[in-house]
Structure 1
Amino acid sequence: MNTFKPVFTAIALAVVSASVAPSARAGDTLLMQRVKQEQSMNLPKKGMSMAEVERRFGAPTSKLDARGGGSRKQPVINRWMYPGYIVYFERSHVIHTVLNTPAGNNTNPANPK
């Protein structure tokens, strides 16, 4: 019986895991910084209605086309763009507010790559 192959596989997995871990920690740090930044800002909160958002934060710079709505399990998702963030609504209530990132990965959701 060849015991070399299982030992080699375990060593290879340990090397790969060790090389991936530092970048995961850096990503976790960036995510935590972004969450803290979002929490300290005055942004639309989960559960607010569209009318409340517009009353408190003004009219959005644009209202993107609605998505979904094909079934009860896929409700209509509306997206409103404001300078610096995007508000996501399920039907007519906020489910999430996302800051536009410097990397630009969510600055133009109307035109995904």
Structure 2
Amino acid sequence: MTNYRNVMAAAVLATAVFAGSAPLAHAEELRVPVGSQADRSQISLPANGMSEDSVRNRWGTPQDIKGPVGEPPISQWHYQNFVVYFEGNRVIHAVVKQHKD
């Protein structure tokens, strides 16, 4: 996850430098204790590189879609137990939601 944050931070900085202005985004680092993280092995998740059509065919219509936002366009598809992040039409990450009991 640290590598993903570094890539995203570099992308925001590069966009700001090329645009000639300060970054417009603010990021916050969240630390989740290992014991509190969801178990990815207990759920079927979309793989990186899958198309939006493939995800929709396998897991159905998402409960909510946010975005796309930015350049490249990043969108989020929210399902009951996980969130899928897309860059354009391809999965870049899938995250299991932590359910509070």
Name the TM tier (shorter chain). 0.5 to 0.7
SS in 2 for 1:95: strand
Partner AA of 1:77 in structure 2 = I
Query: 2: CA distance between counterparts of 1:100 and 1:41?
Result: 11
1:47 aligned residue: 49
Corresponding residue to 1:65 among 47, 64, 67:
67
Aligned-partner Cα distance in 1 for 2:99–2:59? 22
Runs of 5+ in structure 2 lacking a partner? 1-30
Q: C-alpha deviations, 1:38-88, integer Å up to 9, x for none?
A: 13421111110000000111111111121112xxxxx11011110111100
Match of residue 88 from structure 1: 85
Q: Which one-letter code corresponds to 2:46 in the other structure?
A: P
Residues paired across the two proteins, number: 70
- Unaligned 5+ segments in structure 1 are 1-23, 70-74, 104-113
Higher relative contact order (CA 8 A, sep 6+): 2
Extract structure 1 runs of 4+ deviating beyond 2 A: none
Structure 2 letter corresponding to 1:67: V
Query: Percent identity, aligned pairs only?
Result: 33
Q: Give TM-score scaled by structure 1 length.
A: 0.54
CA distance in 2, matches of 1:83, 1:49: 20
Matched, 1:30 2:35: yes
